[in-house]
Amino acid sequence: MNDKRGLPRIVVTFGTRPEAIKMFPVVAALRETGRLDVKVVVTAQHRELLDSVLALAGLVPDVDLDLMQPDQSLDALSAGIIARFGAVLDDLSPDRVLVHGDTLTTMMASLACYFRRIPVGHVEAGLRSGDIYSPWPEEVNRKVTGVIADLHFAPTETAAAALRAENVNEKGIHVTGNTVIDALLFAQGRIAADPSLAPTIAPLQQRFAGKRIIAVTAHRRENFGTGMAEIAKGLQDLARRKDVAIIYPLHPNPNVAEVMRPALAGYDNIALINPLDYLDFVAMMAASDIVLTDSGGIQEEAPSLGKPVLVMRDTTERPEGVAAGTARLVGADAAVIVAETNRLLDDPEAYRQMGTAHNPYGDGTASRQIAALLSGPF
């Protein structure tokens, strides 16, 4: 439905912090065209983590479904998204919907669009690990979305090739780079202009002066249980080094916190801190020497800052980083995590090779490219 100015209406939807980080530059670029009526609908499947990014971007959702519930099952969240988002579609009658990546919001919003024959554009399309249970449930979320979408904004040529291998129409595939680089450049600019916007990390840098800083994030479902215990053991072993300090923003999920707090709380050189807003998170990556993560997006962000990334997963849907040498898979295996981290700490040439490898994820213009593609004829 066109708005009162006769502009095509696009609904942009997301529900988690990583999606918000990667989509706020897209929303800004779409609005800057002046040729589209852009509505933002958040499901808030991650409430507090999402809100900090919305505040940073100055983005006020047109609709906030506020769906987050403690210990919510995938079934319940999926049902809530498709029913509530479907009602929003009926109310707004958009000409197109933009989704991002691989969350339940992505898949269920796409299904709601399909039921109404509303075209879907998929930002960060084409990522594939080849294993539907790793990452779980993200691999199936994005595959289902890829079947429904008619426009696929692939971050790399590798992602575009994965779509072609699934017989996606070539005309709908556009290689744009990853919008996370757009967000990262925005964040770096804000911090450079006003360092007080990232207040958490500077005191930790002072506390750990003279030490090699390892930034850690670990929260993926497939690592719950044994995987988290192995990661905790690996961090305990690394913390025995006197030249190392670890900064670990703990995810609020009890499957993470209830393992990590008792295992790591007694170490003077481990800072277990609350989840960081995006500017502090970028500051943490910039201050670190090595990044240990089971996250997806950090595999893209950290190399832009020249930081080697050890990925605590057995597979990755971002093979470009591994191929380029900016990232290495170490699994959720304490012995491998420790061995590979020590190699980077003790071998300057190994560190240099990973830290200076080419970042394959774009130049910070992805959002403007997407906006240019969408602001033409529908």
Supply the residues annotated as catalytic.
Answer: 102, 124, 138, 219, 221, 251
Q: Is 289 helix (H, G, I), strand (E, B) or coil?
A: coil
- In the sheet with 151-154, reading across from the earlier edge strand, the strands are 63-64, 37-42, 9-14, 96-100, 120-123, 151-154, 173-175
Q: Work out whether the CA dihedral 216, 222, 223, 227 comes out positive or negative.
A: negative
- Token pair recorded at residue 136: 């779980």
Q: Report helix, strand or coil for 130.
A: coil
Cα angle vertex 81, ends 78, 85, to 5°? Answer: 155
Angle between helices 254-264 and 226-239 (to 10 degrees): 30
β pairing state of 173-175 and 212-217: unpaired
What tokens were used for 208? Answer: 């750990």
Nearest to 124 by CA among 26, 40, 53: 26
Shortest CA distance to 246 belongs to which of 227, 279, 282, 273?
A: 273
209 CB-near residues (< 8 Å, 6+ apart): none
DSSP structure string for 164-218:
HHTT--GGGEEE---HHHHHHHHHHHHHHH-GGGSTTHHHHHHHTTTSEEEEEE-
